[in-house]
Amino acid sequence: MNKLLWLVTAILIFLGPIIGVYLGIHPALLPFLGIACGLVAVVRGARPLPEGVGAPSAGAEADAKILCNMTIDNSPKSGIGITDVGGAA
């Protein structure tokens, strides 16, 4: 199935504008459909991520500790912005 998707992708990308003009549709539509077919082929052929067996690395634990103790400041910015400065005419 992946080989067929790659074949359709190549045909649509390279011959799509010619076929589109012949069929009377916008010439850019079929190459975009070819790109979509290529993305589907890539996703279908992707291997699953490995299972997370075992303890995390020391660097991952350190990053997790730093991130869990971080706070985010949601206060509005107080300062001079570009719209606050008036030019003398």
76 in a domain, yes or no?
no
**Amino acid occupying residue 73:** D
9 in a domain, yes or no?
yes
CA separation (Å) from 69 to 15, 38, 51, 61, 64?
55, 42, 27, 13, 9
56 in a domain, yes or no?
no
Q: What's the pTM? A: 0.52
68-84 mean pLDDT = 66
Q: Mean pLDDT score of the chain, rounded to an integer?
A: 82
38 in a domain, yes or no?
yes
Domain hosting 6: range is 1-46
With 90 as the cut, is the pLDDT of residue 36 above it?
yes
- pLDDT for res 88: 54
4 in a domain, yes or no?
yes
82 in a domain, yes or no?
no
* 8-28: pLDDT as tens digits: 999 999 999 999 999 999 999
Q: Which of the pair, 23 or 65, is modelled with greater confidence?
A: 23
Write the burial class of residue 6 (CB in 10 Å: 0-12 exposed, 13-18 middle, 19+ buried): middle
The angle, 0 to 180 degrees and rounded to 10, between the axes of the packed helices 29-45 and 2-23 is 170
The tokens of 35 are what? Answer: 């790109």
What is the rounded (10 degree) CA torsion for 63, 64, 65, 71?
Answer: 100
DSSP line for 31-65: HHHHHHHHHHHHHHHPPPPPP--SPPPHHHHHHHH
With 60 as the cut, is the pLDDT of residue 76 above it?
yes
18 in a domain, yes or no?
yes
